[in-house]
A and B are shown apart, each in its own frame.
Chain A
């Protein structure tokens, strides 16, 4: 957390010698706080003050990277408790756990399905981030064999889970160098775990059910040279984990409490009775402060809403996801194909485009610049009116693409019909269905060029 001008002032020599170019140390401190000056301009600042300022400039929740290349997952470095205060930056990585006691064939089927899983939403491809592999057998060789097997199936990052550092070491030899997270250092094994993480240069999870003990552990491990840490505060229940994760986020952001300023890993399946309950707890963790979420079940019907929630919560409230205004071809439309208009809110565009595509009737879709608002919102805000619609038709020269002169409006703005007719002389304005789901039927059975 950044220091205030006064807090910085306390660290300066307070001699007002002016060599920094400012009349007083206080003036200099104020400029530093506003990031309009560099500390190096003061030749007399002590080493201690330099370190304190550097530490204060570091993010209150450390950014930790798991995985490499296009599959890497970056978590942490959040700056607010509520998304409306700014935004949440690094969406939690969602992993699926397998155990080295499962049948290899079962593991293969599950990993193939879960890691190959992809669902499209608002033009984005959503999926799971990686696999957590747990050494339940207690045997290092079995563990390594499972890790090797899974690596052959996916490039995505791993969370390697074992109590015995030797098992992790064996697994690392076959993991493939994709920057896995090591799980977990505890009060019983932390020295060996820290040594292993340090040697391999890997992030390390730290587990303790008691926050004081957890803070002690992270400090010791940091002193041993490992700084990329992830916290497991041990709580599994939906209520307890809400309390603990809220406390951890507040400690980091409001108290600038460094020993617990790391991303958090959760295991919602351990607090749940069935897969839906697991998904619900995971949903809570998406909203309230998890950095990595390890699932025990994979079902597309549950993963799809969960990934959608993650997308919603981590969308920047200041910028709705938008598409560029323009004339879009859906399918391969020709001069006889229907011309429709909608707004440039991503969700609106993709919903409508998806239905046109699904209808099998190729079409022209005009996107008006509604500043990223949905049809009704834009209409209510005056960003999608008759004038805007007419302007969009002309701006993108829709007439040059079609032989007819018909434009289909979204059903929800049927009230604009008369005005659009006035604005677009010589055009026939049609009112389409209200909901996009009904477009295929409309295009197939009602639309005629």
Chain B
């Protein structure tokens, strides 16, 4: 009995978004990274195109993350004191990009000045040739000041700046516009809120090709299913022609999974949780895997072993490496 393989007739596709600029393009990057362009659901190559593989960014901080899981501190060792060394090691582990979070500029942390933060960005740009994502400390005023300084210091580099939220996007978008950067638009797990924010941002004149969607990530066991479903809904909307949803997804899988007790605490937990290191890495890798199934384009990860693992999974899902 002949069986016909059902295929969806998607009418539209995700926009291609390029991070980083080479010297010829006005930046200093050795290579650029393009994501998006999907004309089908994740990895269904027989049905449509997935011209660019999902990529992995290593999360790097501008300060020693003493409150991180001991497993992460152990894995990065000395490098965790130096964002440049950290970034280089992350790339060596297989990361395609660096996601630099300027937490040291948080007033409750080290309260570093915008100029110092910009200096760190410059140093990392110098130390690596891959494109950069730069996140502010996550406090609205500090985010604005710091990201403006960073945008200027790295003018023309096509950084992805974040996070833009509905209450705090104007300054960041203006800085991105002035200095040829991209922005990450973050909304709390909601299709309409994501679209609204994209309208607000593009109304300021930033083309959609320079926006990434952060749908807000929940870790495995901590809201993952909400993120998973909102991503599937957004992606289906994108493929059926809703322009405001046709942007690649940016997911902070590492941050969310390493916040959880499963990844932070090795002692005094139930025996059924198993080996601490194995579990914590599996937690991050499995969170990332589920997000890949839902359409993640950029995954920000924390542990070098997870980076290696997830890159390999992406290779296999792209069909670029034999099993």
CB interface residues, A 263-286, toward B, < 8 Å: 271, 273, 276-277, 279-280, 283-284
The residues of B that contact A277 with a CB separation of less than 8 Å are 309, 312-313
B202 contacts partner chain A, Cβ-Cβ < 8 Å: no
CB pair B275 A247 closer than 8 Å: no
CB pair A216 B232 closer than 8 Å: no
The residues of B that contact A305 with a CB separation of less than 8 Å are 220-221, 262, 279, 282-283, 286
Name the one of B6, B265, B274 contacting A301, with C-beta atoms under 8 angstroms. Answer: B274
Q: Whole-angstrom distance between the alpha carbons of A82 and B228 in the complex?
A: 10
CB pair B286 A279 closer than 8 Å: yes
CB pair A276 B285 closer than 8 Å: yes
Name the one of B45, B221, B285, B294 contacting A280, with C-beta atoms under 8 angstroms. Answer: B285
Chain B 278-297 interface mask (CB, 8 Å, partner A; 1/0): 11011101100110011000
Q: Whole-angstrom distance between the alpha carbons of A247 and B4 in the complex?
A: 9
The residues of A that contact B293 with a CB separation of less than 8 Å are 284, 287-288
Given A239-B317, A312-B220, A303 contacting B274 (CB threshold 8 A): yes
Instruction: Give the contact-size bracket for chain A.
Output: 35 or more
The residues of B that contact A260 with a CB separation of less than 8 Å are 3
B68 contacts partner chain A, Cβ-Cβ < 8 Å: no
The residues of A that contact B273 with a CB separation of less than 8 Å are 119, 300-301, 304
User: Separation in Å of the B301 CB from the closest CB of chain A?
Assistant: 14
A211 contacts partner chain B, Cβ-Cβ < 8 Å: yes
Given A238-B317, A276-B285, A302 contacting B1 (CB threshold 8 A): no
Q: How many A-B residue pairs have CB under 8 A?
A: 149
The residues of A that contact B316 with a CB separation of less than 8 Å are 237-239
A395 contacts partner chain B, Cβ-Cβ < 8 Å: no
User: Separation in Å of the B260 CB from the closest CB of chain A?
Assistant: 9
Q: Tell me the nearest residue of chain B to A84, going by C-beta.
A: B229
B250 contacts partner chain A, Cβ-Cβ < 8 Å: no
CB pair B282 A83 closer than 8 Å: no
CB pair B229 A83 closer than 8 Å: yes
> How many chain B residues touch the partner (CB < 8 A)?
55
CB pair A312 B274 closer than 8 Å: no
CB pair A211 B6 closer than 8 Å: no
The residues of B that contact A280 with a CB separation of less than 8 Å are 285-286, 289, 309, 313
CB pair B274 A271 closer than 8 Å: no
Q: Whole-angstrom distance between the alpha carbons of A351 and B317 in the complex?
A: 35
User: Separation in Å of the A117 CB from the closest CB of chain B?
Assistant: 6
User: Separation in Å of the B133 CB from the closest CB of chain A?
Assistant: 24
Q: Whole-angstrom distance between the alpha carbons of A347 and B260 in the complex?
A: 12
A243 contacts partner chain B, Cβ-Cβ < 8 Å: yes
B319 contacts partner chain A, Cβ-Cβ < 8 Å: yes
Q: Tell me the nearest residue of chain B to A435, going by C-beta.
A: B259
Most buried by B among A117, A309, A374: A309
Name the one of B6, B289, B294, B323 contacting A251, with C-beta atoms under 8 angstroms. Answer: B6
The residues of B that contact A308 with a CB separation of less than 8 Å are 220-221
The residues of B that contact A119 with a CB separation of less than 8 Å are 270, 272-273
Q: Tell me the nearest residue of chain A to B284, going by C-beta.
A: A305
B224 contacts partner chain A, Cβ-Cβ < 8 Å: yes
User: Separation in Å of the A33 CB from the closest CB of chain B?
Assistant: 24
Chain A 305-327 interface mask (CB, 8 Å, partner B; 1/0): 11011011101010000000000
Chain A 80-99 interface mask (CB, 8 Å, partner B; 1/0): 00111000000000000000
Given A216-B1, A279-B282, A437-B264, A304 contacting B272 (CB threshold 8 A): yes
The residues of B that contact A358 with a CB separation of less than 8 Å are 268
User: Separation in Å of the B259 CB from the closest CB of chain A?
Assistant: 8
The residues of B that contact A117 with a CB separation of less than 8 Å are 272
CB pair B224 A276 closer than 8 Å: no
CB pair A212 B188 closer than 8 Å: no
Q: Whole-angstrom distance between the alpha carbons of A121 and B276 in the complex?
A: 17
Most buried by A among B45, B283, B289: B289
Q: Whole-angstrom distance between the alpha carbons of A286 and B131 in the complex?
A: 34
User: Separation in Å of the B135 CB from the closest CB of chain A?
Assistant: 19
The residues of B that contact A288 with a CB separation of less than 8 Å are 293
Q: Whole-angstrom distance between the alpha carbons of A119 and B46 in the complex?
A: 39
Q: Whole-angstrom distance between the alpha carbons of A235 and B323 in the complex?
A: 12
A396 contacts partner chain B, Cβ-Cβ < 8 Å: no
The residues of B that contact A271 with a CB separation of less than 8 Å are 323
Chain A 335-352 interface mask (CB, 8 Å, partner B; 1/0): 000000000000100010
B24 contacts partner chain A, Cβ-Cβ < 8 Å: no
User: Separation in Å of the B21 CB from the closest CB of chain A?
Assistant: 32
A242 contacts partner chain B, Cβ-Cβ < 8 Å: yes
Besides A82-B236, A84-B230, A305-B279, 15 other A-B contacts (C-beta < 8 A): A215-B3, A243-B45, A251-B6, A279-B282, A280-B286, A280-B313, A287-B290, A301-B282, A302-B278, A305-B262, A305-B283, A309-B220, A311-B221, A374-B223, A437-B265
Residues of B within 8 A of A (CB): 1-6, 43-46, 188, 220-226, 228-230, 232-233, 236, 261-262, 264-265, 268, 270-276, 278-279, 281-283, 285-286, 289-290, 293-294, 309, 312-313, 316-319, 323
A-B contact pairs, 11 of them (CB 8 A): A83-B225, A83-B228, A211-B5, A243-B45, A243-B46, A287-B290, A301-B279, A308-B221, A317-B226, A347-B222, A358-B268
| 3 closest A-B pairs by CB | A301-B274, A300-B274, A301-B278
Residues of A within 8 A of B (CB): 82-84, 117-121, 211-212, 215-216, 219, 237-239, 242-243, 246-247, 250-251, 254-255, 257, 259-260, 271, 273, 276-277, 279-280, 283-284, 287-288, 299-306, 308-309, 311-313, 315, 317, 347, 351, 358, 374, 380, 437
